[in-house]
């Protein structure tokens, strides 16, 4: 009988331990991660000074093509649009920004996201007086590609084609500023 009581006591202790382990072995807590997502949008221009010289008949007839590799760099965590418009033209020749055509393509050094990009090709730069800029790059996605956050774009300028700069006053101080703007869509 003593042995039976002893077995029952051991069995009761083992059961109580099992129940207490089961009851206290599983607890859970919650950690709240408060996350703020902010807009990231920036643009840089490399090769901001482009100098061309109309010094022979072919250049006056065909214009001068100047391609600037990786000219624009955009970092955006949202879809975006890059637009261009001419600033105030200066110089003695009274040149028109409409005689400069822009073409954009993905940059030779691009590592960013290329999905959903569209570009302009051979589009004249509007004047500031018109008040309407042209979209030169439109992205339906962010610029991020894994850990590469930026898109780069090559820009080709076709300047003064089809004799556009003939019959102008000769001057070396002509400047057509091109103002680029990036906005999130």
Which residues does residue 43 pair with via DSSP β-bridges, in sequence order?
74
Least confident of 7-21, 41-55, 112-126, 161-175: 7-21
pLDDT of residue 156: 98
Please report, for the domain that includes residue 157, its CATH number: 2.60.120
Average pLDDT of the residues in 150-161: 97
How does residue 17 score in pLDDT terms, banded at 50, 70 and 90? low
Does residue 83 lie within any of the structural domains?
yes
How many Å apart are CA 9 and CA 65, to the nearest integer? 98
How many Å apart are CA 175 and CA 130, to the nearest integer? 18
Residue 185: which residues within 8 A CB-CB, separation 6 or more? Answer: 78, 79, 80, 81, 138, 139, 140
Does residue 132 lie within any of the structural domains?
yes
How does residue 68 score in pLDDT terms, banded at 50, 70 and 90? very high
Rg, Å, the chain Cα set: 33
Does residue 64 lie within any of the structural domains?
yes
Does residue 111 lie within any of the structural domains?
yes
pLDDT of residue 16: 53
pLDDT of residue 6: 55
Domain extent for 177: 58-184
Number of domains in the chain: 1
Does residue 91 lie within any of the structural domains?
yes
Does residue 73 lie within any of the structural domains?
yes
138, 118 in Cβ contact below 8 A? yes
Does residue 14 lie within any of the structural domains?
no
Greater pLDDT, 7 or 101: 101
Average pLDDT of the residues in 35-50: 95
In tens, the pLDDT along 89-146 reads: 999 999 999 999 999 999 999 999 999 999 999 999 999 888 899 999 999 999 999 9
With pLDDT > 70 as the criterion, what percentage of the chain qualifies?
A: 87
Does residue 13 lie within any of the structural domains?
no
Cβ count within 10 A of residue 155: 27
pLDDT of residue 13: 58
């Amino acid at each position: 009988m003593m042995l039976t009581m002893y077995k029952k006591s051991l069995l009761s202790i083992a059961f109580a331990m099992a129940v207490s382990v089961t009851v206290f072995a599983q607890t859970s807590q919650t950690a709240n991660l408060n996350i703020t997502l902010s807009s990231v949008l920036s643009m840089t221009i490399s090769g901001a000074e482009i100098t061309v010289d109309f010094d022979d008949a072919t250049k006056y007839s065909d214009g001068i093509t100047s391609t600037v590799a990786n000219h624009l760099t955009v970092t955006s965590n949202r879809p975006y649009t890059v637009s261009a418009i001419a600033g105030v033209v200066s110089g003695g020749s009274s040149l028109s920004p409409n005689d400069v055509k822009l073409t954009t393509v993905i940059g030779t050094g691009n590592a960013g996201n290329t999905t959903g990009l569209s570009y302009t090709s051979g589009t004249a730069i509007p004047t500031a007086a018109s008040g309407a800029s042209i979209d030169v790059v439109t992205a339906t996605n962010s610029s991020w590609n894994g850990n590469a956050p930026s898109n780069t774009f090559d820009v080709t300028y076709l300047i003064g084609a089809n004799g556009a700069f003939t019959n102008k006053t000769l001057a070396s101080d002509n400047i057509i500023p091109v103002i680029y703007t990036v906005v999130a869509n």
